[in-house]
Structure 1
Amino acid sequence: MHKEIERKAWVRDWNQTLELLNRNFNFVKEYHKKDQYFLMEGYTRESKKKFRIRQDGNEYWVTYKFKSLLETLEVNDEIEFQISDVQSYQRMMEALGFKIFINKEKKGYRFQRDQWILELSHISDLGDFIEIECLLTDPSPEQIKEADIQILSLFDQLKISHSDIETRYYNQMLLANKEL
């Protein structure tokens, strides 16, 4: 089974980070993603009874993540599939007891080098972030640790301070802002 190994960090200098990405990585695409997070009625936001519908251009994707933190490193399993009739899918999920609890909008640039995917993003109502991830198949704890070391090295190459690493999920930060 594939595991997504990921870290994200706040970006203090968008232009410098974008220049370093362009110089050292392969540009993949510009994106504009709109996410709706659904939660089963009667459950708290911390429960696992939630999923996401993402609009990425003209495509819609449903994602459920088995999220886990290994110390401060995200190690996730995902179930993800594309849907063609988003309105019908939303109506069905609402009929089953799911309600939208948060929206997220993400604009930015995707880069890649080898197995590494890097996204420089502006998250509406939050700010600027860099995400670095790779997919590993049935990784051992040693492989996960090695991936983390490489992620931290990539942050160094991009002049991203380790003190800017963010361990909260975006929806946690958005909800905290919403409650202020």
Structure 2
Amino acid sequence: MPRNVEIKARVRDWERTLQECCNQSKTAGELIKQRDVFFNSSHGRLKLRDFQDGQGQLIYYERPDLVGPKLSDYSISNTTHPADLERVLTQALGVRGSVVKERLLFLVGQTRIHLDKVQGLGEFLELEVVLTDSQTLQDGDIIAQNLMKKLGIQPDDLITGAYMDLLKGQHTTP
């Protein structure tokens, strides 16, 4: 199962953070519109990501709800029929809720930086350090910590859980 080290943080200064993401990646970022539908799951989290263009991904992941860098194990299956898949999964499992966001994607080395505007929540940043088979959690943690410093992420900006959890009021943000 692929693994990454992930952090999620509230963005307090969008323009400054955007500029630093552009500086670090040497790009303007890629705009991606997403609607994530979370399904009831007895283990981990299961979501269908609809890219609003006929493409989607079914994503299952397990990640502890901790502040700061944390290990995430995940599996992804691509689909060209997200609406059909959503209908079947809704009937089989029931829907926990959905998250609508606009995401700017930046790539820095082996790290995906997501600068997100989430409907009903606000502005956030996610770092996903994609680990190779030979890398440890500690290797990913070092990479994440270094990028957090460069991007100006403070410890009190870090949040736990998923956007879905925040929307449901199960976690709080700083």
Q: Same fold (TM over 0.5)?
A: yes
Tell me what 2:139 maps to. 146
Residues 1:133 and 1:84: Cα distance change in structure 2 (over 3 Å): same
| Alignment check: 8 A CA contact 2:68 2:158 kept | no
Q: CA deviation at 1:70?
A: 7.2
CA distance in 1 between counterparts of 2:66 and 2:11 reads 23
Structural mapping, 1:103-142, within 5 Å: 103-138=98-133
Tell me what 1:36 maps to. 37
Tell me what 2:17 maps to. 17
Q: How many residues get paired?
A: 168
Q: Choose the corresponding residue for 1:175, options 147, 168, 172.
A: 168
Residues 1:174 and 1:161: Cα distance change in structure 2 (over 3 Å): same
Residues 1:99 and 1:162: Cα distance change in structure 2 (over 3 Å): same
Structure 1: tracts of 5 or more residues without a match: 41-46
Tell me which protein shows more strand as a share of its residues. 1
Q: CA deviation at 1:122?
A: 0.9
Structural mapping, 1:37-56, within 5 Å: 37-39=38-40, 47-48=42-43, 50-56=45-51
**1:38 maps to amino acid:** F
Q: Choose the corresponding residue for 1:85, options 81, 88, 101.
A: 81
CA distance in 2 between counterparts of 1:72 and 1:18 reads 21
Tell me which structure has the larger Cα radius of gyration: 1
Residues 1:50 and 1:144: Cα distance change in structure 2 (over 3 Å): closer
Residues 1:29 and 1:158: Cα distance change in structure 2 (over 3 Å): same
Q: CA deviation at 1:149?
A: 2.3
- Percent of residue pairs identical: 23
CA distance in 2 between counterparts of 1:132 and 1:90 reads 27
- TM-score, with normalisation over the residues of structure 1? 0.82
Tell me what 1:44 maps to. none
Q: CA deviation at 1:150?
A: 2.1
CA distance in 1 between counterparts of 2:31 and 2:85 reads 27
- TM-score, with normalisation over the residues of structure 2? 0.85
Residues 1:148 and 1:84: Cα distance change in structure 2 (over 3 Å): same
Q: Give the aligned CA root-mean-square deviation in angstroms.
A: 2.2
**1:23 maps to amino acid:** N
| Alignment check: 8 A CA contact 1:39 1:49 kept | no
